[in-house]
Structure 1
Amino acid sequence: MRITRDVVCEDCHQKCDIHKALQLTGRSFSGTNSIQANFSKREKICKQGENVSHAIYLIDGTAKLFIEGINGHNIILYLMKPPSYIGLLSFFESIHYTYSVTAIEDSKVCMVDLDLLKQLYLENHEVLLRLNKAFGKSVASIMSKIICLNQKNIRGRIAESLLYLAHFYGGDKYHLSITRKELGEMSAISEENTVRLLTELRQEGIININGRELTIVDKTLLKKISELG
C-alpha cells in the first residue's frame, strides 16, 4: 500500500458523495480526515477481523469482497468497480470488518475518517439517502448470493457466476481478471469442479474460452441452466 496524504478532491475524477456534501456546507477534506492509497494487484484493502477506522471509496481498479473461511475456503460475495464504497456493512453493524476486500487489479481508494462520515450521515439528508442506497445494494447482492448457494446445484451456480461476470464486465465477451479458483469461490465450488464445469459448458457450445478470454455463446441456455439449477 502506498499512501498519499495531500488529497486534492477537485483533481479526482471520482468525486464521492462525502465531497459533494462538504462542498454544500462550505467545508473540504483535510489531511487529517482523508488519505488516498494505492493497492497492488492481489493486495488486501481491508481484512476480516481488523478494526474499522475509515470509510473506503474505490476510485480506480476492481476488487473482490469475500468471507475468509476455514482452511482457506473463501466465499466471494461480490465484485466491485468504481465508484463504490467499501466497508459500509461494517460501518452500520460492527467495529470490526466482517469480511475482507482484495484488489483484483492495481487499485486506488480514498479513505475517509469514520467520525466525519457518521457526522455527515446524521446531518446531511442527501448523504444519508445515498449511503442507505449503497448499503441496500450490498445487502441485496449478499441475499442473492445466499439464495443461489443454497438452492442451486453446482452447474446452476457456475452458470449464475458467468452471467454475473457478463453484467459486471458489461458484455458477453470478457477478459477474466479473476482466477479459476476465484471463480469457484464465487460459486462455492472447488477449483477442480470449476475447471470441469467450464470444460463441459465449452464442449456443449454454451461458452468459449481462449486463455483468459471468455465468451458466452448461448446466453439463453446459460440463463436456463442458472434458473433451473
Structure 2
Amino acid sequence: MSLKGIFPIDKWIFRSKSIMESLSAEELERLFADMVEQTYKKGQIIFRENNPAFGIYYIQQGKVKKYKQDRNENEHIIYVANEGELIGYHPLLSGNNYPDSAAALEDSRIAFIPRDAFLSAMEWAPALSKHLLSALSYEYSVLANSLSIVAKHSVRERLAISLIVLREKYKLSENDTSSVAINISRKDLASMTATTEENVVRLLKELKKEGIVGSLGRTIIIYNVKALVQMTNYQ
C-alpha cells in the first residue's frame, strides 16, 4: 500500500540519494575510481561521533543506523540509512568532526570516498555541490520534525511512526504492496522511538493482538500500515 496522500513520509526521509543521482554515468565512473569498498558485519561501527572526518560513505548494500550517545552511553538512533544513500557528509564543507556515529544494522557493503576526492568532484561536477547543499538543508528539516514528534506524540504514536518509516526502508521496491518484514532488534526500535525496550515489547504485543503486525523471531511483519497511520494521530 502506498502512503501517498495518507502520511507525509518525505518528512522522515533524507535526500542524500539525490547527491549521487545528480552525476552523469561518466562522472560516477570517475568518482567510483576513488572509492574503496568494505564489508561491514551487523553491529560493526563505521565511524564514531567526534572522530576526524576523512571522507564519506556510500551504502551499496544493506542498512546503517546513525545515532548519538548520551552521557550514560545509551544510543539514540536519529536515522536509518538505506542502499543508495550517503552518510558522513555533514563535516565535508565545514571541516569538523563527525557529528554522530554510524553502525551497520545488517551485513552491509559500503564504499568509502576520501574527502579530497569528493571535494575535487565538486569542482568538476557542478551539480554535485547544488544537490549536496539541498540534501543538507532538507536533512535539518527532517531532524527538526523528528524532535518535535518526541514532544508532541505519545509512545504508542511514536512507535507507529517508527514502524511506518522502517516499512519504507525495508520495502523491496517502491511499489511493494505486500506485507513488509522489518529485521530490527527491540533495543534499536526503542532507541529510534525514544522509549524503553520494555515499552516497545508491550506495545508490539498489543499491535499483534490487533492484527496490525506479526513477528517471526525478532523480525516484525507489517500487515496493516493504514492502521499504523491512523495510530500516529499525525496532523
TM-score surpassing 0.5? Answer: yes
CA contact 1:166–1:173 (8 Å) conserved in 2:
no
8 Å Cα contact 2:180/2:223 also seen in 1: no
Relative to 1, partners in 2 of residues 1:222 and 1:133: Cα closer, same or farther, differing over 3 Å?
Answer: same
Within 5 A, what are the aligned runs for 1:1-229?
17=20, 20=23, 23-24=26-27, 33-170=34-171, 173-227=179-233
Greater Rg over alpha carbons, structure: 1
**Which stretch shifts more, 113-122 or 161-170?**
113-122
| Letter matched to residue 131 of structure 2 | R
TM-score by length of 2: 0.78
Whole-Å Cα distance in 2 between the matches of residues 132 and 192 of structure 1? 39
Q: Which shows bigger deviation, 129-138 or 100-109?
A: 129-138
CA RMSD of aligned residues (A): 2.9
5+ residue gaps, structure 2: 1-16
Change in CA separation of 1:25 and 1:51 when aligned onto 2, cut-off 3 Å: closer
CA contact (8 A) 1:173 1:214 kept: no
Structure 1 stretch 213-222 or stretch 184-193: which is displaced more?
Answer: 213-222
What per-residue deviation string (whole Å, max 9, x for no partner) do you get for residues 12-45 of structure 1? xx9x849956945996665xx5422221111011
* DSSP 3-state at the match of 1:59: strand
- Change beyond 3 A, Cα 1:212–1:53: same
What is the distance in 2 between the residues matched to 1:85 and 1:112?
A: 10
The structure-2 alpha-carbon separation of the partners of 1:221 and 1:20, relative to structure 1 and needing over 3 Å to count, comes to: closer
Q: Is the 8 A contact 1:78 1:141 kept in 2?
A: no
Aligned length: 213
Taking structure 1 as reference, are residues 158 and 115 closer, same or farther at Cα in structure 2, changes over 3 Å only? same
Tell me, in whole angstroms, the C-alpha distance in 2 between the residues paired with 1:106 and 1:216. Answer: 22
> Larger relative contact order (C-alpha < 8 A, sep ≥ 6)?
2
- Aligned partner letter, 1:83: G
SS at structure 2 position matched to 1:64? strand
Q: Distance in 1 between matches of 2:21 and 2:201?
A: 43
1:176 is paired with a residue whose SS is: strand
Q: 1:199 to 1:131 in 2, by over 3 A?
A: same
TM-score by length of 1: 0.80
**Aligned partner of residue 37 in structure 2, secondary structure:** strand
Q: Which moved more, 1:57-66 or 1:85-94?
A: 85-94
